[in-house]
Each structure stands twice: as structure tokens, then as C-alpha cells.
Structure 1
Amino acid sequence: MIRAVLALALVMAPTPSGDLDQTVDPGQVQASGRAVLETGHVDIGPRLHDGKWTIQIHDDHAVPSVWRDPAETVLRVRDTAELQVPDDESYAFLGSAPGETVHVVPQTEKPGVVWIGWNTQDPAVMAAISRGVTLNLRGVQGPGAVTVFLQSGNLGAPRVLWSSAKPYPQPLWVETNTHTHANWVFAKTGTYLLAVDVTADLADGSTATARTILRLAVGDSTDPADAFGATFTGPLPSAPVSPAAVAAPAAAGSNALLFVAIAVIATLLLVAALVWRQSTVRRRAGDTR
């Protein structure tokens, strides 16, 4: 069990910043035909191409890199991604018992495991959007729980971004020119469909939304053909989530901190004034003796 804990901690360590430095070539082509991606670097993200907003998969494992349509792409998570859930309350949010085997696409790249992230680095997107986009999980269909979380260091508390155990929609604010990787945990083997959308407030004042279904085949025993043929049949929220609504809580939190800081400073100044006044009174009392 100690080995399992160490293994999980190692693959969920933060990604070195240098590994996230990338530039997307505006001339990268749109690939055609079906593809099964089971190793190497891929990112999910918005793409503005020929005036049309879409969510696509940026396949950086291909040489040269290409964009792929999620409808024609299966992300295959092989058994090389298997890990045991540690006996640690910090990971109770996964919903799996300690010792259970799960498939983990880690925050840091692992040989033999597809490395799934997201980016807002399409040059046309960066030129069109105002501040960022909302990447929103609308639903999950599959044999087990799906959890996506970040962890900033082995001792840092996990930050859950998406969880199939929580109500939908689940919006995630992503700044312009962002490239991020997180931990993706799948509780069971089988075919998974993730319904996602991206909404952007554009610099011209309008709003753009695109939707897609991400297809994943988890486990060596899962045939990617099943993922290609699967259809999302569950209910989905209809209205997109506004980027302004997602970004607002962070701004409100910043204002709250500012007000607290002002209150603390005012209190300190008041205390200092009282101490100075008492000191002055005492000196004057000493002068009259």
C-alpha cells in the first residue's frame, strides 16, 4: 500500500512549467479520418477556423502537430495507467475504496499513457476572445466515476475541477493563452463519453459557444470501436455558462480580501493612535509632579 501511495503522489506531482511552454502554429492543418490516441501529448480546446467556433483536439504527438475532430478521435487510456487508490483521506473524493485499481491520466507525462490537457492557444482564438473562456462539463456517460483534479505538489491539497459525482453543469474558467494538464481518474474500465462546451465573450462584445462529445476507451480490454459507435443518451443542460458568471466569483473574492485588508489597517492605525494618546497623557502627568 505504501508503494501505491508513493506511485500516486509521484504521477500527480505538478507539471514543470517548462513542459507547458508551447506555441500553436496558426498554419496547423485539420486532420481527416479516425484516430486512436493512446500515447503522447494532446490538448482539448477551442478553435476558430474559417469563421467557425469548434472544440477540437490538438494532437501534439503527431509530426507535425494537427487538429482533430473529437467525433473522429478516441483517447485510449491503456492499462499502463493503472494505479491503486491510496489509503489517504485526501483522495476520498475519488469515490473509490483504498486499494481499488483505477486508471489515471496523470498531471505529469507518463510513458505509455496518453497525456490529456487543455489550451486556449489557437492564434485565431486568442485574437478574438476578450479575457478567456469557460470550459464546461455538461455530463458524463460511462461505467464508473470520472474525476479531474489539480494538485500543486505532493503535500498540496487536491483541487477538484470536474467530478461525475456532482451536479451539472460544471464550469471551469480558463484564461487566454493557457496550457494546463490535470489528473484524470477513471474508476472502471469501459467506454466513456464526456459532453463539454466552451463559451467565450469576444472582444467585439458578442458571445460564441461550441459543443462536442469527448470519446475515451479506458483499459486494454475496451475496444476503441465501441467508443466511436457510442451515443450520448443522458439528459444535458441546455444553456451555456457565461464566462463572466464564472470569472465573477474570483473578482468578488479579491474585493473581499481588499476590504479585509483595509479593515485590518484601519484597526492597527486606531490602536496605534490610542497607544500614542495614552503615552502622551502619562508624560504630561509626569511633568506636573
Structure 2
Amino acid sequence: MIKSLLAVLLVAAPSPAPDLDQSLDPGQSQAAGRAVLESGHVDIGPRLRDGTWTIQIHDDHAVPSVWREPADTVLRIRDTARQPVPDDEAYAFLGEQPGAEVHVVPQTEKQGVVWIGWNTQDPGVLGAISRGVTMNLRGVQGPGNVTVFLQSGNLGAPQVLWSSAKPYPQPMWVETNTHTHANWVFGKPGTYLLAVDVTADLADGSTASASTVLRLAVGDTTNPDDAFGAAFTAPLPAASGSAAAQAHNPSSGTGNALIYVAIAVGVAVLVLILLVLRQSAVRRRAEEEPTR
């Protein structure tokens, strides 16, 4: 069995983890211009600013921390993230042969590797949503497999969140005020584009949704400029994030109840029609019988 560092790096920090305990300053600025982030802490998440719902990248490596537009940001995963795949059936879902070299952004921070997570902690978002959001992977464009998964403890079974080997869309529910990091595994070096949207039912009864493309340059030989210039050309399925969010929202029970009521009413009407027809048939037979 391959006793690689991957098996160690794919393990979560104890929960609650001090590194995940954060709050975001409402005054954090919006960065301008392009940036290549290849180390330090970054989070993907929704942001509500001046009434506009967007998906942005929170760059905590910058001092002070800033928000960045995904179109102007490339997450570069250097070869310091390379690890061999363990010879363990538990990792067969990666779709890679044991011993194959893959690039891993681990669930716990590793020096020299950009630490990618997500959060729902923007103060504007916290003030607008009541329960959470749905982060939806709608497509992946790149040279290899992409897998995002969580693993809790040395013996915990991996929980696959997103996988380019599965059909799209792939919704993931994220509670309000959440800050999470997972394992990101890339099967081959190259440029990757991930089409993502985030949808939420707002406290005022409306629905907010935004879409973006995350740009990643995997491997030292991959030029980040290629990621900046790449266009997502693969077909995208219709977004289904709203439905996923409703599945975790108590208000969705109202919709189900209405369906059940409609079915019950339909059945009652059908029974009434059958009774009327039966009574009419009985009357006709009575009228047709000769009087004794």
C-alpha cells in the first residue's frame, strides 16, 4: 500500500477548527485588477453589496483582506501540491490509478499551496438570508478529473461534494455563517474552469442568484495567463440550485402541501362525478321498469 502524504492531507482538522473561526469586516474593499493567488487563504462565496448579489473570492492572504472578481482572479496550484494517489479503495472515487501523481489542495492548510474554501459570511449576505444558500456546480472544463470532498478524522469515510465524473448540475447546501474547507483534487496539470452559481431565498421572500466561472491554473508549467484568457464553451445544464435550497427550507413544505391538496381535490371531484353518474343510471333503470 502506498503510504503517501495524501492520506494525511485529506483529513480534516478537528471541529470546530480555530482556522475556520472568522468574521468578515463589512468595510473590506473591492480589489481592482488581475491577481494570481498561489498561496494563503481564499474563500469563494456570495456577496451582497449595494443591492447586487454576486459571487466573489475573498482573499485573506492580502493585507488587509479584500474581495476579488473571479474573472480577474486565477487560483494557481503549484507543484508543491502534488501527491500520489493512495493504494486504497476508499479513494477509488477519484478516478485515478494508485500511485498516479495528482494536485491536491488539502482540507487543512499546507505551506506553499493556495488554501481554497467557501463561506457565507459576507455581512450583506448575513443580513439578507435566513437559512443558507445553494452552491451549484454546473460544469467543469479542463484536462483531467476534478473532485471536491470532505473527510472527518483518520477513519472517516470521504464525502464527495462535487465531481466532474458525475452528471451536472451538482447542488450543495451551505448554511448561513458557514466557513468550510475541503479537499480539491485535480487529475492532470492544466487550465481548469469551473462554472458555479449560488442561489438563496432571501428573508424578504425574493430569490437571489448569481453565476460565475472559477479559473484555476494547475501545475508549475501551466501559464496563469491561459486561465485568464480561457472561455467556458462546454454546454451548461439548467440551474437547479433553487430547488435544492427549497429542500432544506421549511417554506418548501408549503409547496408540497399545495400539491397534496390539489391531488385530494381532484380525487374528491372524481368520486363526486362517479356518484352522480351512478345515481343517474339507477334513476334511468327505475324509470324504464314497468309499473306493477
Normalising to structure 1: TM-score of the pair?
A: 0.84
Q: Does the Cα contact within 8 Å between 2:20 and 2:180 map onto a contact in 1? A: yes
Q: C-alpha offsets along residues 31-83 of structure 1, whole Å, 9 cap, x if unaligned?
A: 00000000000000000011100000000000000000000000000000000
Q: C-alpha offsets along residues 228-276 of structure 1, whole Å, 9 cap, x if unaligned?
A: 0000000112334214344269x99xxxxxxxxxxxxxxxxxxxxxxxx
Match of 1:12 in 2: 10
Name the Cα RMSD after superposition. Answer: 1.5
Match of 1:176 in 2: 176
The letter for the 2-side match of 1:62 is A
Q: Does the Cα contact within 8 Å between 1:191 and 1:227 map onto a contact in 2? A: yes
Give the paired residue count: 249
Q: Does the Cα contact within 8 Å between 2:215 and 2:227 map onto a contact in 1? A: yes
| 1:55 alignment partner, SS class | strand
Q: Does the Cα contact within 8 Å between 1:171 and 1:246 map onto a contact in 2? A: no
| 1:124 alignment partner, SS class | helix
Q: Which runs of 5+ in 2 are unaligned?
A: 254-292
Mapped to 1, the partners of 2:191 and 2:239 lie a distance apart of: 26
| 1:130 alignment partner, SS class | coil
Q: C-alpha offsets along residues 195-231 of structure 1, whole Å, 9 cap, x if unaligned?
A: 0000000001110000000000000000000000000
Mapped to 2, the partners of 1:230 and 1:47 lie a distance apart of: 24
| 1:226 alignment partner, SS class | helix
Mapped to 2, the partners of 1:65 and 1:198 lie a distance apart of: 22
The letter for the 2-side match of 1:9 is A
Q: Does the Cα contact within 8 Å between 2:171 and 2:240 map onto a contact in 1? A: no
Match of 1:148 in 2: 148
Q: Which runs of 5+ in 1 are unaligned?
A: 253-289
The correspondence of residues 124-273 of structure 1 with structure 2, limited to 5 A, is 124-242=124-242, 243-247=244-248
* C-alpha deviation, 1:15, in angstroms: 2.4
Is 1:87 aligned with 2:96?
A: no
Q: Does the Cα contact within 8 Å between 1:55 and 1:198 map onto a contact in 2? A: yes
Is 1:119 aligned with 2:106?
A: no
Q: C-alpha offsets along residues 148-175 of structure 1, whole Å, 9 cap, x if unaligned?
A: 0000011110000000000000000000
